[in-house]
Amino acid sequence: MTTTADSFDAIIVGAGPAGSCAALALAKAGKRVVLIERGPFPGSKNMYGGVVYPRILDSLIDQWWNDMPVQRWVTRRTTMLLTETQAFSVDFRTTAWGQVPYNGATTYRPDFDNWLANKAELAGAVVVCSTTVTGLIRNSSGAVCGVTTDRPDGDLHARVVVACDGVNSFLAKQAGLYTCTESSHFTLGAKETLTLPKEVIDERFGVRGLEGVDIEILGGTGGVNGGGFLYTNYDTVGIGVVLKLSQLAAQSQRPEQIIATLKAHPAIAPLIDGATLKEYSAHLIPEAGISMMPTFVADGLLVAGDAAAMCLAAGIWLEGVNFAMASGMYAAEAIVEALALGDTSAKGLAGYLKRLESTFVLKDHRKLRRAPQLVLSDRVQHMYPQLIANVAERMFRVDNPLPKPGLRKIFAEERKRLGVRTRDLLKDASDGFKSFG
């Protein structure tokens, strides 16, 4: 293999958070890198249901908070359990998350992803938009050495290709690294961005200035296993549902109808009253964590971000952009190492796996490997929210002249009434403790 024929040290496919961080880190290391995006601008194909946790950017962009396109800083975090008529919330707020160095932000992905790709470009990466990568190019020994695109004479060559091409990653599939098409491992996210005046959002959600709220919801999804979310932007709110694809497929309510059900819930409806639809959007989510992840490294090829199924869907923690950014950055570090060694085979690129394993990227996923299945299980989805809500309702209901019954008695009665078996409860508690404990 000759290096003179390579136009680039690395080709990054997909200018999402993984791709842009990979390109940024490589460009900062002085490598010749091209970042290819199929949309007309980075972020144009991307949506999500939530929050960016940018801590990992500390090591890539000095004081990133100065110009990151933030809608609101999340200073209030609510986890809400919904039954048809009840809502049980755990609500936390802190002023600390509204100050430097911040914790999480709501942002529109077309703004955020575009900003991040621009950072890569400023650092020296070549950013090429409106170009769809159509396949991998391999050399005579089978190592990946470039990509084909839908541009005329659009073949590009490089020492390494990084597939950051998202949840459907056709590159990882083509390379035989990613074989999962099991519908129970995916969720469909569908979201409405609703316009509301800033003052109305501030008042209804109890925030000021750039403070924002993230509400994660269990239940309220029309009986389809999944969850809901509601979070504040500056003068819009994002509300939507995340639905287990295999379950969605097995019933008759459409995604937008399930959003309507959530919006009509008595605990949600007053928050969004009078809002108008600004944009509807949808995206697939790799939800099963470690059990669906592909092989991350092949000769001349790395896989990062959603393409490597790195979304963390663990109930109380719903993250993804941070995992994508970190994996992109670690891919870049491994490539720099491999280039220095002159070995871009899977062996030479093994530093990528080492970094994923030694940081939160795979440590969190390993610790939480039971969580996605647990969170999407029928008991956690339907029985436990009802149990908790019923117990709360009876705890706080004043039944005078009857005396207060006591928590243990209420719990035992409600458990029996809902048919929750002790055996299952103990098993789920054990799984929950192993994951979250």
Coil/strand/helix, residue 217:
strand
Residue 384 CB, nearest distance to another protein (Å)?
Answer: 25
CB-CB contact of 71 with 212 (8 Å):
yes
CB-CB contact of 314 with 368 (8 Å):
yes
> ∠ CA 145-149-153 to the nearest 5 degrees?
90
- Identify the burial level of 51 via C-beta atoms within 10 angstroms of its C-beta, where 0-12 means exposed, 13-18 middle and 19 or more buried: buried
Question: Which residue do the tokens 């609101």 mark?
Answer: 72
* Cα distance between residue 372 and residue 431, in whole Å: 11
| Residue closer to another protein, measured from CB, 255 or 351 | 255
| Residue closer to another protein, measured from CB, 162 or 338 | 162
**Cα dist from 11 to 157, 221, 302, 330, 434, whole Å:** 8, 41, 10, 15, 39
What is the helix (H) or strand (E) element at residue 106, kind and residue range?
Answer: strand 105-106
| Residue closer to another protein, measured from CB, 59 or 130 | 130
Residue 169 CB, nearest distance to another protein (Å)?
Answer: 10
| Residue closer to another protein, measured from CB, 149 or 344 | 149
Residue 183 CB, nearest distance to another protein (Å)?
Answer: 5
* Cα distance between residue 74 and residue 231, in whole Å: 9
Close Cβ partners of 437 (under 8 Å, ≥ 6 residues apart):
none
| Residue closer to another protein, measured from CB, 131 or 435 | 131
| Residue closer to another protein, measured from CB, 133 or 368 | 133
* Cα distance between residue 300 and residue 321, in whole Å: 24
| Residue closer to another protein, measured from CB, 247 or 435 | 247
Residue 265 CB, nearest distance to another protein (Å)?
Answer: 10
Residue 75 CB, nearest distance to another protein (Å)?
Answer: 21
> Closest Cα to residue 233, out of 265, 205, 254?
205
| Residue closer to another protein, measured from CB, 26 or 190 | 190
| Residue closer to another protein, measured from CB, 168 or 359 | 168
Residue 238 CB, nearest distance to another protein (Å)?
Answer: 12
| Residue closer to another protein, measured from CB, 88 or 115 | 115
CB-CB contact of 39 with 129 (8 Å):
yes
> Does the CA dihedral 107-109-110-114 come out positive or negative?
positive
> Does the CA dihedral 320-196-193-372 come out positive or negative?
positive
| Cis amide leading into 266 (omega within 30) | no
- For residue 92, list its beta bridge partners: 77
| Residue closer to another protein, measured from CB, 29 or 167 | 167
For 98, list phi and psi in degrees, rounded to 5: -95, 10
> ∠ CA 226-232-235 to the nearest 5 degrees?
135
For 51, list phi and psi in degrees, rounded to 5: -130, 140
Residue 249 CB, nearest distance to another protein (Å)?
Answer: 4
List of residues contacting another protein (CB under 8 A):
38-41, 43-47, 69, 108-111, 114, 129-132, 149-151, 167-168, 170, 181, 183, 186, 188, 190, 245-246, 248-257, 259-261, 263-264, 266, 269-270, 272-275, 277-284
The type of residue at 259 is: I
CB-CB contact of 297 with 178 (8 Å):
no
Residue 348 CB, nearest distance to another protein (Å)?
Answer: 30
CB-CB contact of 45 with 168 (8 Å):
no
Residue 163 CB, nearest distance to another protein (Å)?
Answer: 13
Residue 274 CB, nearest distance to another protein (Å)?
Answer: 7
Residue 146 CB, nearest distance to another protein (Å)?
Answer: 17
